[in-house]
Amino acid sequence: MLSAKPELVLPEEREFSYKHAGFEFRGVKLDWKNDYLNGKYNVFVSSGSEAVGRFTFFTSDTYGSEIIFSGMFIEPALRSRGISGALMESLFRVAHASGREICHAWPQRKPLMGAILHKYGFEPVSLNKRELQETVYVGKGDTSAQTRLWFPVPAKAREFANSNIGKAQPYLIVDSLRQIHDAVRVVLNTDYVLTYPERAPQIR
């Protein structure tokens, strides 16, 4: 039987903290309520005095008691070290200890975030005819300074290159899918659903 760690339970207080996998987590609950969402949480992650990154999520009781993943940021100098896995496992532990499930993710605008969700069993909700417009292929496991992207629709590639995300993050848009040896197909601006639970972080 799974054993829950009390320090990971989501409290009602506006601030909380816990430790997991050698990292320190400090959460802040924001005022965020509508017909679907109960609250929004920002969780800042550090190792000693060094900032590691942060992630955000919502809570909802509309379709059962759940946590809805919103987004994640890891400091560029610390990427490709498996930190995203530790953060995702931490969030699944919080959900489990709080009696909640993680089945959904908020619409994603960052290609790399879509690839991370894919790694942990999430798949995009079909957009039907719009899906081709929003599809991008992301270099999986790219250890270079830039993550390679290929858009089937050239206009979307130009649009993304001119966006704030495209300019701020280390992305490299390539001319052909053949320039990406190991690609993951993701879809932007759509919900993600946990389709393959066996790929989600395992709670031990």
pLDDT tens digits, 55-85: 999 988 887 889 999 999 988 888 778 898 8
The Cα–Cα gap between 200 and 147 comes to: 23
Sheet with strand 15-20: strands edge to edge: 15-20, 23-30, 39-47, 50-60, 66-74, 101-105, 192-194, 122-124
- List C-alpha distances in Å: 21 to 24, 45, 49, 181, 200: 9, 11, 16, 32, 17
pTM (two decimals): 0.84
pLDDT in tens, 103-162: 999 998 999 899 999 999 999 987 776 677 889 999 976 556 788 999 999 999 999 999
Q: How confident is the model at residue 6 (pLDDT cuts 50, 70, 90)?
A: very low
Whether pLDDT at 199 is above 70: yes
Q: What is the pLDDT of residue 5?
A: 43
Q: pLDDT at position 2, please?
A: 37
What pLDDT is recorded for position 76? 80
